[in-house]
Amino acid sequence: MFALPASVRVVLAVEPVDMRKSIDGLMALVRTAWGEDVYSGHLFAFVSRKGDRIKVLTWSRGGFVLLYKRLETGRFRLPPVDAGAQAVTLDATQLAMLLDGIDVAQVRRQPAWTPPGRTGT
């Protein structure tokens, strides 16, 4: 679909969001609820109450981009979330899996390789 550099964060809202919200309404959520910079170039994702729709908001070269996807059957499978969290951070691979309808919680990753003498990040 699209390639994202590793430096881009993806922040997913834990609570359902009213899909009638426009770019301005979603911006307000990002700023007030999460205290995030909407102009950072990071992606901010929001899932509907029924879990069949998702919006992804980002800033790109002088304007906002809003991606909207509706599943015809099924629901988006959200990753596990800590109690009390307002949002969860994903990486680009997890976002791609989420958008494809893959249950991110069921995916197992191999441990990342670290060169000898270095600590993992």
Q: How much is the mean pLDDT over the chain?
A: 88
pLDDT tens, residue by residue, 8-47? 889 999 899 999 999 999 999 999 988 999 999 999 999 9
Return the pLDDT at 105: 75
Residue 106 contacts residue 61 (beta carbons within 8 Å): no
Mean pLDDT of 96-116: 83
Distance CA 45, CA 89 (A): 10
| DSSP structure string for 68-80 | EEE-SSS---PPP
